[in-house]
Structure 1
Amino acid sequence: MSTEVPARTQAKAASTSRHQMPGRESADRKQVTQGRWASVLLAPTLILLAVVIIYPVVNAIIMSFQKDAGLDTATGFFVQGGAAGFDNYAHWIAQQCNGVACPPGTLGSQFWGAMSTTFFFAIVTVALETVLGFWMAIIMARTFRGRSIVRAAVLVPWAIPTAVTAKLWFFIFAFEGIANKLFGQQILWTGSEWPARWAIIISDVWKTTPFMALLILAGLQLIPDEVYEAAKVDGASAWQRFTQITLPLVRPALMVAILFRMLDALRMFDLPYIMTQGGNNTTTLSILVVDQIRQGFNSAAALSTITFLVIFIVAFIFVRFLGANAVGAATSSGKK
């Protein structure tokens, strides 16, 4: 009796494996086929990305280590550029001020001035857009008549091209524009430093706040209503529900929205260039790159590489230390 049971079990297992083996082989063959088709279908996209993104980035980095062609002051002849090493980077990071080196830590050079202006615009605009966008998202998350119309109307500033927005606000902030007539003032909004800066900030906040509001609204809609109802039953106030429920649960979407907007603000070009042409200390890094292209491609390539590294470091800090991980947030929500 003790020898028959293992024999029957082995025979049954062998029979089962023979019947299952073709199915396993078919599944493996299907998986391999799907993998090949996935590679074939993804190949055009990867090639396009390599041509449009990877090649220009690599080429710009190579150009940044080359000298710009120009006249040789010693001979007076036009000479081609050669290897420059890190001279182009040193030119921007340790730039000359009126023929002498700028003192360490000062913002006297073009690069450091543009860097400080860029981060000023980015920090102030993103902070204002986050607060206003959060407020708009909370309103749009409520149930009321005409909510769809309100959500569509909020998108209007975001849908307007940036160049059109810049011209619109340029006329508003003109000396005889609506802003001065509304406040009864005679301010040269684009003719002096701080009015010009605040004119650009107001224009950017007006245009981009809807983008923040929609991203935050998407995070608010993932919070179940039962959580708020349970908090009300427990006697939690509106402020407690906001600080203890809304903020913690919407934090992943909020951080991703701030990350996207911060990276976009660090590349700001259209608004300040059209409204002030970069004058009155409104020159951003992107404007400085475009202006430098007219003088030398290789030096501009070094500046654009520095700008890329600055933006990469900011993105790394947000993802690594502040939790702005869109992929991780999507994965965790999928597991739930």
Structure 2
Amino acid sequence: MSSTSGVATGEFAQGKPPLNPSGKRASLHDGSGRRAAVLIAPTLILLAIVILYPVVSAVSQSFTKDAGLDPTTGMFVEGGFAGVSNYKLWLLQDCGSGAFSCPPGTLGSQFWTATGVTFLFTVVAVSLETVLGFVFALVMHRNFKGRAILRASVLVPWAIPTAVTAKLWYFIFAYDGIANKVLGTNILWTGEGWPPKAAIIIADTWKTAPFMALLILAGLQVIDGSVYEASKMDGAGAWQRFRYITLPLVRPALIVAVLFRTLDTLRMYDLPKILTNGAGDTSTLSMLVVDQVRTGFNAASALSTLTFLIVFAVAFVFIKFLGANVTEQRAPKTKKAV
């Protein structure tokens, strides 16, 4: 009895399933696997309906022509297989020798302009949010009286709905609003040029910097305080502790926070839509998709597919090359001894 238990325990420690009372190894074919499949099936079916079907449907429709009037003949044309023509409308329509030579007003020009604006918002806003979020997290991580009140107040902007935030900043950036009165300027923040872009970046940073602070604070709280005490005893200064202890240990949480915010900003729609309504070349890819739905649904499907591929490519770069650990870590495989 004891030898059997010892063998089972040893094999279980080696990663092998233990022996059942009949002397056979437990497997997924003894009923447990079927029960697990039955329990997981409703979730998988729901995910397939909510996520998989819309993605497959959008990709399928992107290869179909939009039914409507032919601009050359004036005759009604039924939809049919279009190949990659819908994608060419956005990538190469009237672009001549390249994407950067698209005449203004064409679909190709709108796509590349919206792509550049979307990446501009993403790079600048996420960078500012990361720096401010890190500062907020370091402050909230300290022990002082009223820390709980400070943490709650910092999270208020993030808790406000985006539509309310956009309308709030719309009044702040009005021509006779608070921003111009405080700065002593007469800037048209929702007009042309750089002001509308700056207004969107400021509003987005104000709203989502607390989200970054919350995720970074979670990473700071798992750092053992004894590490800092030991570094102080070794004579490490504040900058050395921050550079060689805080940054390396908080890096996993920081990268995941930046990944989440990057993907969220790439899909930005409601804030620029309400704040500027696309004025001053502030239309993002998501805004362009919604506007295109009103004129051609299948062409909009092609644009949404392109947007999905861009977001997927950015996420792949983060996970593959920048070390964003959002998947389970597995122990490295070891070779069996011969």
Cross-structure match for 2:136: 136
Partners of 1:250 and 1:21 lie apart in 2 by 42
Matched, 1:170 2:170: yes
Mapping for residues 141-220 of structure 1, pairs under 5 Å: 141-220=141-220
Instruction: Name structure 2 gaps, 5 residues minimum.
Output: 8-17, 332-338
Paired residues of 1:263 and 1:311 also in contact (CA < 8 A): yes
Write the letter of the residue equivalent to 1:60.
A
Structure 1 window deviating more from structure 2 (75-84 vs 291-300): it is 75-84
**Helix, strand or coil at the partner of 2:327:** helix
**Helix, strand or coil at the partner of 2:222:** coil
**Helix, strand or coil at the partner of 1:105:** helix
Partners of 2:101 and 2:230 lie apart in 1 by 55
Matched, 1:313 2:313: yes
Paired residues of 2:28 and 2:34 also in contact (CA < 8 A): no
Paired residues of 1:95 and 1:111 also in contact (CA < 8 A): no
Partners of 2:180 and 2:170 lie apart in 1 by 12
Partners of 2:89 and 2:31 lie apart in 1 by 54
Q: 2:60 aligns with which of 56, 62, 65?
A: 62
Write the letter of the residue equivalent to 1:41.
L
Partners of 2:297 and 2:52 lie apart in 1 by 18
Q: 1:151/1:26 Cα in 2 relative to 1: closer, same or farther (>3 Å)? A: farther
Matched, 1:105 2:100: yes
Paired residues of 2:220 and 2:246 also in contact (CA < 8 A): yes
Matched, 1:227 2:227: yes
Paired residues of 2:99 and 2:112 also in contact (CA < 8 A): no
**Helix, strand or coil at the partner of 2:143:** coil
Write the letter of the residue equivalent to 1:175.
Y
Number of residue pairs aligned between Structure 1 and Structure 2: 316
Write the letter of the residue equivalent to 2:148.
S
**Helix, strand or coil at the partner of 1:28:** coil
Partners of 2:98 and 2:258 lie apart in 1 by 34
Cross-structure match for 2:127: 127
Deviation at 1:162, TM superposition (A): 0.4
Paired residues of 2:216 and 2:257 also in contact (CA < 8 A): yes
Deviation at 1:76, TM superposition (A): 3.0
Write the letter of the residue equivalent to 1:79.
V
- 1:160-200 CA-to-partner distances (Å, cap 9, x unmatched) read 11011000000010011111111111111111221100100
Mapping for residues 266-277 of structure 1, pairs under 5 Å: 266-277=266-277
- 1:113-172 CA-to-partner distances (Å, cap 9, x unmatched) read 000000000000000000000000011111111212211212111111101100000001
Paired residues of 1:96 and 1:102 also in contact (CA < 8 A): no
Deviation at 1:77, TM superposition (A): 2.7
Partners of 1:327 and 1:73 lie apart in 2 by 50
Write the letter of the residue equivalent to 1:65.
F
Write the letter of the residue equivalent to 2:90.
W
- 1:27-63 CA-to-partner distances (Å, cap 9, x unmatched) read 8389944433322222111111111110000000000
Mapping for residues 19-34 of structure 1, pairs under 5 Å: 23=21, 28=26, 32-34=30-32
Deviation at 1:244, TM superposition (A): 0.6
Give the TM-score normalised by the residue count of structure 2.
0.87
Cross-structure match for 2:304: 304
Paired residues of 1:193 and 1:282 also in contact (CA < 8 A): no
Cross-structure match for 1:258: 258
Partners of 1:241 and 1:12 lie apart in 2 by 52
Paired residues of 1:272 and 1:282 also in contact (CA < 8 A): yes
**Helix, strand or coil at the partner of 2:188:** coil
Cross-structure match for 2:286: 286
Mapping for residues 67-106 of structure 1, pairs under 5 Å: 67-73=65-71, 75-96=73-94, 101=96, 103-106=98-101
**Helix, strand or coil at the partner of 1:277:** coil
Cross-structure match for 2:243: 243
Partners of 1:12 and 1:83 lie apart in 2 by 71
Write the letter of the residue equivalent to 1:293.
V
Paired residues of 2:137 and 2:214 also in contact (CA < 8 A): yes
Paired residues of 1:61 and 1:301 also in contact (CA < 8 A): yes
Give the TM-score normalised by the residue count of structure 1.
0.87
Cross-structure match for 1:36: 34
**Helix, strand or coil at the partner of 1:153:** helix
Cross-structure match for 1:4: none
When the two chains are superposed, the root-mean-square deviation of aligned CA atoms in Å is 2.5
Partners of 1:12 and 1:47 lie apart in 2 by 46
Instruction: Name structure 1 gaps, 5 residues minimum.
Output: 1-10
Structure 1 window deviating more from structure 2 (82-91 vs 146-155): it is 146-155
